[in-house]
Structure formats: structure tokens, C-alpha cells
Amino acid sequence: MNQVSPPIAQRFDASTLAWLALLLLAVAIYAYGLGGQYVPSNGDELVYSHIARLTAASRQWLPLVSELDHMRNTKPPLLFWQGILASDWGQHWTQAALRAPSLIYTLLTSGAIVWCVQRITGDLRRACLAACLYLAFFCTFRFGRTYLTSAPETFWLNVPMFWLLWARLRQTRQLSLCSSSGCHCGPDPQSMPLDDGCRVKPGMTAGEARGGISDGSMTNGDLSWLTHFGFGVALGLGLAYKSFALIAPAAATLWCAQLLSSPVPNWRTAVQISLKVSLSSALALGIFALWFVLDPDPAAVWREFVIGENAGKLSSESGYWRVALFGGGFSVWAQLLAYVQNAGLLAFVVLGLMILGLREVFDAKSRRSTPSTHMFILLSWLAVWLIVFTLPSQRSARYVIPAMPALAMLIALYWQRIARVWFLSSLLLCGILLVTLARISWATDQLGIASSLELVITLSVCLFGLVLLAGGLLNPLWTRACTVAACLVVYAAFASSTASLNGSAGHYPGKVQAQLQQARIAVPDGFNGEFERFQFLLPGNQFIAYVLEERSATDSGAQQLAALLASHDAVIWLQSDLSELAPPCAPDCRVLGWRWDVKGRHRSGEINAGNLWYPEHWLFRREWLLAGALPSSTAVPR
């Protein structure tokens, strides 16, 4: 795909309508259960919720407020201001309200992908496919709709890239029209015809004519200073969500993509692009630096965020090269597979794309052809982000999420050339997960968590996914489309299987919530900020975190529970296993209420080959809300 074909009139055939319907279904899946407790997320979400809630309670934008040690200025304020505004200063404190802006940002990014691929191919079907691929990536499903920085940073940091891609495609399109109209953009622009195809005016230089630009926004194919000023604002907003350090990959990507896709890639062009990207970078850093100006305690921002949150990632106690070469999941080798990890269920498809790319690199015929403009931009986008984030000692696939839109577009462009076997591998992986989710849903019904209707809905969704699996396996023409659809159905099945836990089974009764107000409640905390989840379950109370001690067959934790009951108004206590039918304090305590919880961490050996098929034995547990026994004089006879 070395040349950009002029867009043709789009036909809304059955295939195009099917992909458009799948895209709308993907949007519905993303919106469904947005406020759920068990939406795939990251532990940082509750930390950010905690900071946003306390900052909103202070009725001031700055400084940020937190009760967690060394976890106050963990991110720039824009993320927390977003949460404050979305919740109306804490008046509507729900997870759905906090997550809604992230979903909007993800949909805007998806729209930009549709727009760009439509400009590249002139094919709405291929454009919808690219957006579906982006939404089918697990990193998008996990980080792109929760209260995290990924969705807004991906959008704002990529605004310049989307604009550059559009500008280069517009320029190529104008050159194509100019050629088809008989204009050869010769050395004397005065002699060139001026019509709707050739954008050449008297007084333009030959370079300007070749750039196809008549409105002054570009010179010799370079974006204007004003455009780069806008880029700086967009990049600055991205930095204000995540970190000033992201200016390195964002600016390097913009510089590299502009230079490689420039019609006249010479030293003069390189200098111009460097100066303009420097302007964008300086403006972006200036917007980020406003935090130091506005915050009443800039020293704390420097100490906690610049030094603690960012500089610390450049060093390692184990030694930089030891971690880089032999650091397992933090090694350079693992980071090179970051895009594969982020793709999730589509990991095999990404591997197929990588192998296809390597074959083209070593293919003599491909080496003789010049890559198209959009290919220079997309490959620069992917390569620079990956290279930059192999350098810090702390590496993570999550750091390259802003480059995932480019990956989705690249897969869509090479859709038919990726070998079918890679899609079959992803399709089979989807099948395994669909069977697993169906079994988990069946277990929730056996435990009384899910109703019969909820079970039927989840099993129907899983059955539909298995039908897609069968269709993709049996019909080679359907394999690729069924793979993407099956990925999205897996997400729908997951949301459906956890829907019952977002209802009465996963919440305390309303009368219990009304009874407990301004109470001091001890809650288990296994990760920074995990106690914040109870703000959505029992709002209006004060939660004091405690570390749940390791229990054994001879120690049920009764001593720890008794101490907690003696010093708090109520205690949240977790069931150790399903054989424990009552809390260890019974009958010397009151059970105010209980709900079902999903176990996020398991002891060694708790899951084994013998019980793997029985998730009811290791996945769910009761969570009791306990209070001390009433004095005998006020006890109510049974």
C-alpha cells in the first residue's frame, strides 16, 4: 500500500453496514456497566478517586488533598479536576460519573481513527474496522473507560498526529488531482493552469506548488507556526493529565513523522520542523508548569511528583543493565512485546502483523518501492513510543498505550495480508474465555448471586460468541471479521457475568446504609487506596484501613476481629473460605449486613487442577458488615 488512492464515493453495502453495526455494538458494550465495581481497571483508579473526593471536599482546586502517605501529588491536577467537575464537586459521587469523561475521550479517539482511515482508503468499512480493532484491544477496554489517565492522554497527545496525518493525506490528494488535471507543477508556477484540481496561484514557488498548498497553512509541505502553536496546547493538556516526561515521546514522534513524511526532506526542512516542534514542546511544558504557579505548595509538587513519581523511574536498586537484560517483565525484551501485550485477545494478530512487516523489510521488491506518506507517519508513531519507553528502568506495556491508535490503523490497512492462522489463534483464545465466563456465570447462579434471567442472558451472549467462533473456523471468508466480533462479545459476556454483583447481591441493603452515617468503619486494605471502594458502597462514613492478617487452620482471625470491633463502630470482615458460614466473632457480634465479593488475590495452592473448573470454591466470598454486640439491657429477645 504505497500510494494513496483518491477517495471514491462510499457504497453502503451489507458489509459496510455490518461493520458500522459492530462499531455501534462496541460503543454499547463500553457504556454497559460503566459504574460497575468489577470493571477491568487498575489499582491506581481508587487512589485517584480518593484524591479527587478529598480535594472536592476542600472546595478548592489546589492543593490536592490525600490521606495516603506520599500519594498526594501523584498526578497533575487536570485528572482530579475532571473528576471534581464530573461529580459536581462530589454531589454525585459514583463510579459512572467519574468514568464517563474517559469513555468520551476513548470514543473521540475512535472517531479520529475512523476519520483518518476513511481519508487513507476512501472506504468507510475499513474505517469502522480500524475503530473496532482499537476498541477490541484489551488495553483500551481496561484503561480507556475507567478513571485513569490513559484515555485523556491518548487523545490529547495524539491530536497533533491525527492532524499531521490528515494534512499529509490532503496534500497527497491535491497532488493527485493536480496530476490528473494535466498540471505537472513545473519550475514556472505562473504557467500552470488554475482550476479545482490544481491549487496553484501566480506568485507561488515550485516547492509550494509541489506541496499543493494555496491557503498559506503549509510551506514546502511543512505545517505552519500557528498549527504548531495549537499542537503545543494539545500536548500541554496531555502533559497536564499525566506527566511532563511524556513530552519526550510525543515531541520526538511528531518531529520524526513530520520529517519522514515531508515532500522535501532536506536540511532546511529539518531545521524548520525542529524549530516548530520546539515551540510546541516549550508551550506544552509551559502549560504543565502552571501547576507550580497555581499550587500554594510548589515545593511539595517538586518533591512528590518530579522527584518521587518521575525521576525514580530512571534508576533501579538492582542495577540498570541487570534489570534491562534480565529483569523478566521489566526487561527490554518484554517491553519489545508491549504492543502484543496491550492487544490482549488480538495478540496473535499483532504478532502476525509484525512477521508480515519483517518479511516486507527483507523482501527485495518491497525495498525498491517507497512507502506511502501515511506509512511513514504510522510507523514513526509506533517506533518512537516503543524506543523511548525501553530506556527507563521501570518499563511497562501501559506506557505505549498512546500509540495503540496507530497499531489499529495499521492492522486495518494490512487486514487481508495478515495470515489467517493468526486470526484463528485469537479466535480460539476467545472461545476458551467464553466457555470460562459461561462456567463462572453458572457458578454465580448456584451460589444464588445471579438470578435465572441474568444467567440466561450471560449464557446467550456466550453462545452467540461460540457461534461466531464456529463461523470463523468453518468459513475462511468470515475468520477475520468473526475474530474482532468475538473479542467484543467476550467483553460483553464479562460485563453480563458481573452484572449481578452490581445489583443487590453485591451491595449492602439500603436500610443498612441509612443506619450507618458518620460511623468509623474498619475496612481491609490490600493495596494503596483499596479502602476507597467503600465510599461507593457505604457513603457518608469514615473508613479506617487495616491489614488483614494471614489466617491458618488454627487461627480464624478472631483475635484481630475482636480488637477491631472494640475500637470501631463497625468492621468489614472477609470470609476466609466458603466453609466459614459465620464470622469468627459470632455470636458475640451483630451482622448488620453482608454482600458477595470477588477475590482479587489468592493464596498459594488455593487454585489447583482439582478445583479449577469450580470457580465457586475460589472466586467468590462473603463480606460481612459487623458491629459489637448490644449491651444486655438493650438486647432484643429473639
Give the whole-angstrom CA distance, residue 85 versus residue 90.
8
pLDDT band of 558, cuts 50, 70, 90 = confident
Residues 75 and 203 grouped into a single domain = yes
User: Would you say residue 521 has pLDDT above 90?
Assistant: yes
**How many domains, the chain?**
3
pLDDT given at position 532: 92
Residues 443 and 336 grouped into a single domain = no
Residues 332 and 448 grouped into a single domain = no
pLDDT given at position 547: 84
What pLDDT digit, counting tens, does each position of 35-70 carry?
999 999 988 999 999 999 999 999 999 999 998 877
Mean pLDDT of 126-133: 97
pLDDT given at position 325: 73
Range of the domain at 135: 14-416
Q: Which of 393, 416, 439 is the last residue of a domain?
A: 416
Cβ atoms of 16 and 9 within 8 Å: the answer is: no
pLDDT given at position 345: 96
Residues 199 and 226 grouped into a single domain = yes
In this structure, is residue 183 part of a structural domain?
A: yes
Cβ atoms of 218 and 167 within 8 Å: the answer is: yes
357 alpha-carbon distance from chain centroid? 25
pLDDT given at position 417: 94
Query: What cell numbers appear for 478 in the block?
Result: 468470515
What pLDDT digit, counting tens, does each position of 399-437 carry?
999 999 999 999 999 999 999 999 999 999 999 999 999
pLDDT given at position 343: 97
pLDDT given at position 549: 67
Residues 276 and 202 grouped into a single domain = yes
pLDDT band of 264, cuts 50, 70, 90 = confident
pLDDT band of 316, cuts 50, 70, 90 = low
* Pairing state between β 570-574 and 218-219: unpaired
In this structure, is residue 241 part of a structural domain?
A: yes
pLDDT band of 203, cuts 50, 70, 90 = very low
495 alpha-carbon distance from chain centroid? 17
pLDDT given at position 1: 45
In this structure, is residue 496 part of a structural domain?
A: yes
Residues 159 and 186 grouped into a single domain = yes
Residues 258 and 395 grouped into a single domain = yes
More confident position, 166 or 322: 166
User: Would you say residue 247 has pLDDT above 70?
Assistant: yes
In this structure, is residue 162 part of a structural domain?
A: yes
Residues 236 and 271 grouped into a single domain = yes
Residues 347 and 399 grouped into a single domain = yes
Question: For the ranges 66-80, 160-174, 209-223, 452-466, which has the lowest average pLDDT?
Answer: 209-223
In this structure, is residue 2 part of a structural domain?
A: no
Whether residue 63 has a cis bond before it, omega within 30° of 0: yes
Q: Which of 416, 440, 471 is the last residue of a domain?
A: 416
Question: For the ranges 135-139, 307-311, 359-363, 601-605, which has the lowest average pLDDT?
Answer: 601-605
Mean pLDDT of 323-327: 70
What pLDDT digit, counting tens, does each position of 348-402 carry?
999 999 999 988 887 756 556 677 889 999 999 999 999 999 988 788 899 999 9
Three-class SS of 550-574: CCCCCCCCHHHHHHHHHHCCEEEEE
pLDDT given at position 369: 67
Q: Which helix (H) or strand (E) holds 223?
A: strand 222-223
pLDDT given at position 11: 60
pLDDT given at position 494: 96
pLDDT given at position 368: 60
Residues 265 and 394 grouped into a single domain = yes
Residues 169 and 262 grouped into a single domain = yes
Q: Which of 401, 416, 431 is the last residue of a domain?
A: 416
In order, the DSSP letters of 188-209 are -GGGS--SSS----TT--HHHH
Question: For the ranges 16-25, 158-167, 379-388, 546-555, which has the lowest average pLDDT?
Answer: 546-555
Cβ atoms within 10 A of the Cβ of 543, count?
20
What pLDDT digit, counting tens, does each position of 432-473 carry?
999 999 999 999 999 999 999 999 999 999 999 999 999 999
Cβ atoms of 79 and 149 within 8 Å: the answer is: yes
pLDDT given at position 587: 81
In this structure, is residue 455 part of a structural domain?
A: yes
User: Would you say residue 210 has pLDDT above 50?
Assistant: no
Residues 330 and 440 grouped into a single domain = no
